[in-house]
Amino acid sequence: MIESVRTAFTVPELRRKILFTIGILVIYRLTANIPVPGVDLQAWLQFTQGGQGLEGLLGVLNLLSGGAVSNFSVMSMGVYPYITASIIIQLLTPVIPYLEELSQEGEQGRNRINRITYYLTVPLALLQAIGQINLVGISFGGGANVLDQIMPFFGFSSPENILPTLTTLLAMVGGTMFALWLGEQITESGVGQGVSLIIFSGIASGIPLNLLNLFNVTQTDLAERFISLAVFILLTIVTVLVIVYIQEGERRIPVQYGRRVRGRKVYQGASTHVPLKVNTAGMIPIIFAQSILTFPALAASFFVRTAVAEEGEGFGIRLARIMSQGFTQGGDPAVYPGALALFWVFMFLAVVGFTFFYTDVMVRQQRLAQSLQQRGGFIPGIRPGKKTDDYLMAVTRRITFVGAIFLGLVSIIPGILQFMGYFLDISGLAESALVITGSGLIIVVGVVIDTMRQIEAQLIMRNYESSMIG
């Protein structure tokens, strides 16, 4: 990999593309530090000091925006509305005939689907901006009072607040669309997939601050600091190795093509294979599960007035308090261990379930059996058509079981270390899993592998062209 990067910088065109990509990422990181108009940044930083409150769904958004939520930037939604729109379009493609026709029209159809996705991103970004701002008020346990301190002029309740509110919402929507535009520039003129690289840059930029938090948590005990740092290094190395192994793992289904006659020429049948990935879904199931499992705690928080239990409160209020404070990723195992353990169990089951569901949808959209039949290909021993489709789906579900268990375990690593740190009385253990989360590592490793493949492919192409000219 190092040799490929070094060689790439010796090729003028590739060097220009790499420097262009780095420049765009620098622009994104600079923009991610511009606060949203109308926010009281000092009040916001006081509430989020040390990362407090940035758990659950806000933590997911902070991850995908590259830490922009932590300073309430115009980029605080990142490209998450676009990801949501893409998932919705993917799920609706088999259901809506028009989208299904477009998906089969090649490059032109894909471009029109991308345009529809961008159109859908705008209203989703507007809705998410409203929801995310209200989520901030709920997440800090103070409801409207907290939001009044952080954003004193937000809301449509009074006429004088309408213009500042619209300014805030348009700035957040504009930040998302600008981030998408930057991603497009990388895809067209740089190296790698633009949107993925923007998310990658955000995760990578948050690692130093997370390491600093790890050192601050363990500053009173050097032995605890050493153990936590060793756990972080070991966990990162092992997780990266497993991610690479699983992400690159595939089942190759042999395919045979019959002899074809075109004009006066007869083409001999060829043998090839269909690669079925062990983890087709990527980290999408983790995003789904984290988003859905955050809503019970948010809904329960509406019924809880204070963070401290009051005398004479009924069973319903007590249950809502347990749900709002315990059934969440940021729960304290010393306060509500049962609710927190239940949250991580549901997280594992939800990730596994969503992995099977999303993989099933993706594979069915590819119509592999139909494509093979149209090109004269067949799997030895399997009849073309429905039998081939059933066989491919059966194989996909078997190998997806490994990918689903893998994603489920990756998603609950912070919870495992959270309880280990509680029972062993080592506060830094939970923090060591949050320096870079398992889902973040999946993104980082996937983006690095994909970008290096593109660089190596372009190097091979340049060498091939030079040998042809020579």
pLDDT in tens, 217-227: 666 667 777 77
**Measured between alpha carbons, how far apart are the two ends of the chain, in Å?**
27
- The β-bridge relationship of strands 250-257 and 377-378 is antiparallel
| The two structure tokens encoding residue 108 | 């032109």
Domain chopping of the chain, boundaries: 1-219, 221-435
Place of tokens 């989020």: 48
Q: What is the DSSP letter of 274?
A: E
pLDDT at 470: 46
The pTM score is: 0.75
- CA torsion angle for 77, 16, 442, 65 (degrees, to 10)? -10
Q: Do domains 1-219 and 221-435 have the same CATH topology?
A: yes
DSSP conformation letters of 272-322: EEEEEES--STTHHHHHHHHHHHHHHHHHHTT---SS--TT--HHHHHHHH
Task: Please state, as a whole number, how many other Cβ atoms lie within 10 Å of the Cβ of residue 154.
Answer: 23
**Residue pair 64/90 in contact by the 8 Å Cβ criterion:** no
pLDDT at 167: 92
Distance of CA 217 to the CA centre of its chain: 27
279 Rama sector, left if φ>0, alpha if ψ -120 to 50, beta otherwise: beta
CA atoms in the 13 A half-sphere facing the CB of 460: 6
CATH fold for the domain made of 221-435 = Preprotein translocase SecY subunit (1.10.3370)
CATH fold for the domain made of 1-219 = Preprotein translocase SecY subunit (1.10.3370)
Hey, is 401 helix, strand or coil? helix
Place of tokens 């395919």: 255
pLDDT at 273: 79
Hey, is 273 helix, strand or coil? strand
Residues 340 and 231: their CA atoms lie apart, in Å, by 22
Q: Tens digits of per-residue pLDDT, 345-386?
A: 998 998 899 888 888 877 877 778 887 777 777 788 888 888
Q: What is the pLDDT along the chain (470 residues), one digit of tens a residue?
A: 677 777 777 778 888 888 898 999 899 888 888 888 888 888 787 777 655 556 555 666 676 666 677 778 888 888 878 888 887 887 788 788 888 888 777 778 888 888 999 999 999 989 888 878 877 766 665 444 677 778 888 878 788 888 988 999 999 999 999 989 998 898 888 888 888 888 788 777 777 777 777 777 666 667 777 777 787 788 788 888 888 888 778 888 888 876 666 666 655 566 777 888 888 877 778 777 776 777 777 677 667 655 555 666 677 777 877 777 778 776 778 778 888 888 889 989 988 998 888 888 778 777 788 877 777 777 888 888 888 888 888 888 888 898 889 888 888 887 887 788 778 777 666 666 666 666 677 777 777 877 887 887 777 776 654 444 44
Q: What is the DSSP letter of 70?
A: G
Give the torsion sign (CA, 402, 407, 413, 416): negative
Task: Please state, as a whole number, how many other Cβ atoms lie within 10 Å of the Cβ of residue 57.
Answer: 21
H or E stretch covering 334 = none
Residues 332 and 341: their CA atoms lie apart, in Å, by 10
